[in-house]
């Protein structure tokens, strides 16, 4: 696309610069061509000047394992500095970026652009370095690779989140950020695809673009010609490590949902209705005599779930959700998990020759790794030497973990905010059952067992993870 845009511009220049016979009509035509080209250029400049004040550079400092040849298990950590991009979405200092930009960081700083007067006489073309301020993580969502930061500044320039459902293939878009540390960079391209799923069962869909995205661009905004955020630049596919014109951005409607929930609650709650939705393929349609070769069929309706209580059945064909056509199973899943927990959605369903509209209550997804986050606090639930926040396995907690075998223990609710990367491979939702063979039933027992140990002592945690018991062995730091 970048080549085609250049060719179009060159064609305009060639047409305008041609030396036609002396004629007033041809002279006016050349002037109009030059004027049109200049208008396009000025519009791009105006867009950049409007967007850039809301785009920030992010400086993250943390720790990572020290690599020594082919032996990463040295037990040593080294200081790591990483950079990325972000965008201000609220004048009160809320910044959206990618989780992978700040994950594991013990210190996060944001460089805010310095406002400039574009019309000031004698203004230098070299931009001043922006103001560096500290930032705190308000919350994050691992499934979408998004994080929300907060800086102690107000009255900041910000960009509105646009409607990514209105994005179309071929639409002109612009990527802003700090690729390879080069702040205030902008690239131009088109939307290559509006809903790209990178893996068959990936819960995320992306906007694909050929606008140049490189390391350091992550977290920056993908904007439309109106200056609205239509995506957050997240990743690229590349054989060289650099941009090859295949970049992906998290759609703004997903970003809005994550941002608003984190701003309100500190974490993301996802909805579900208790079904397994599958995309209809020609083979599936022929084998089941469905009568249509596209759309969504319910492969399962979980007993006792909201969908079962609403009367939905296995084999029902879902053709719409709240009036919006459903074309594949992932689209249905994504639109349901974006619905507020406790709300009601209406599914338009075909069952044989009958067409039904079925209202279903949305409940919280039970496998969400962030579901324990609001139940803990660093003051009361921290286990410092394990770098985690834990909660006792009470009956109401056990009910939130499907297929649980353990009757007592400590549930890992989250990693500690300042946890240093180490050998303890605990994950949210794990249940710690014992320490070196001694059962632990609550946080007090877990802390006491860990605190009795000296640095370099061997520790073996028995952990239940997704219904499977396993041992995690490491040396205590």
Residues known to be catalytic? 100, 145, 218
Q: How many CB atoms lie within 10 A of CB 297?
A: 22
Task: Answer positive or negative: Cα dihedral of 410, 340, 198, 244.
Answer: negative
Q: Is 268 in contact with 372 (CB distance < 8 Å)?
A: no
Of 349, 410, 425, 328, nearest to 376 by C-alpha is: 410
Q: Which residues does residue 420 pair with via DSSP β-bridges, in sequence order?
A: none
**Residue 418 phi/psi, 5° resolution?**
-110, 25
Rounded Cα distance, 9 and 17, in Å: 12
Query: What sections of 171-328 are H helices per DSSP?
Result: 252-265, 282-288, 306-310
306 three-class SS:
helix
Q: How many CB atoms lie within 10 A of CB 438?
A: 10
Residue reference for tokens 């297929």:
403
Rounded Cα distance, 414 and 425, in Å: 12
Helices (H) and strands (E) in the chain, counts: 10, 27
Rounded Cα distance, 148 and 93, in Å: 10
């Amino acid at each position: 696309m970048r080549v085609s845009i250049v060719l179009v511009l060159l064609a305009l220049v060639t047409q305008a610069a041609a030396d036609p016979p002396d004629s007033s009509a041809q002279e006016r035509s050349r002037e109009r061509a030059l004027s049109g080209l200049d208008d396009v250029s000025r519009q791009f400049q105006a867009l950049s000047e409007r967007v850039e004040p809301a785009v920030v550079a992010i400086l993250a400092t943390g720790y990572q394992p020290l690599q020594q040849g082919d032996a990463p298990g040295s037990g040593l950590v080294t200081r790591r500095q990483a950079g990325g991009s972000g965008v201000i979405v609220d004048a009160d200092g809320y910044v959206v970026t990618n989780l992978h930009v700040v994950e594991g960081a013990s210190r996060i700083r944001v460089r805010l652009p310095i406002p400039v007067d574009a019309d000031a006489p004698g203004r230098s073309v070299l931009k001043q370095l922006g103001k560096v301020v500290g930032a705190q993580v308000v919350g994050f969502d691992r499934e979408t690779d998004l994080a929300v930061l907060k800086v102690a500044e107000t009255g900041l320039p910000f960009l509105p989140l646009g409607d990514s459902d209105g994005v179309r293939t071929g639409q002109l878009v612009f990527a802003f950020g700090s690729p390879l540390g080069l702040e205030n960079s902008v690239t131009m391209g088109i939307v290559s695809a509006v809903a790209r799923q990178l893996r068959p069962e990936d819960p995320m869909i992306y906007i694909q673009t050929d606008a140049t995205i490189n390391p350091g661009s992550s977290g920056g905004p993908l904007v439309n010609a109106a200056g609205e955020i239509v995506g957050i630049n997240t990743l690229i596919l590349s054989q060289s490590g650099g941009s090859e014109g295949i970049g992906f951005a998290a759609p703004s409607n997903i970003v809005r949902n994550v941002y608003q929930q984190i701003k309100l609650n500190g974490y993301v709650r996802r909805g579900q209705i208790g079904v397994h939705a599958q995309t209809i393929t020609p083979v599936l349609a022929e084998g089941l005599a469905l009568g249509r070769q596209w759309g969504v069929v319910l492969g399962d309706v979980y007993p006792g779930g909201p969908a079962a209580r609403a009367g939905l059945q296995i084999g029902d064909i879902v053709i719409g959700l709240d009036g919006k056509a459903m074309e594949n199973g992932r689209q249905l899943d994504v639109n349901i998990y974006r619905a507020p927990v406790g709300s009601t959605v209406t599914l338009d369903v075909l069952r044989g020759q009958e067409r039904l509209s079925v209202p279903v209550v949305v409940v919280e997804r039970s496998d969400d790794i962030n579901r324990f986050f609001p139940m803990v606090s660093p003051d009361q639930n921290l286990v410092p030497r394990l770098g985690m926040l834990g909660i006792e396995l009470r009956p109401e907690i056990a009910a939130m973990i499907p297929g649980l075998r353990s009757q007592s223990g400590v549930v890992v609710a989250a990693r500690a905010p300042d946890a240093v990367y180490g050998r303890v491979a605990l994950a949210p939702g794990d249940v710690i059952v014992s320490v070196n063979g001694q059962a632990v039933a609550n946080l007090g027992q877990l802390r006491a067992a860990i605190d009795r140990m000296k640095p370099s002592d061997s520790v073996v945690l028995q952990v239940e993870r997704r219904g499977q018991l396993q041992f995690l062995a490491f040396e205590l730091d």
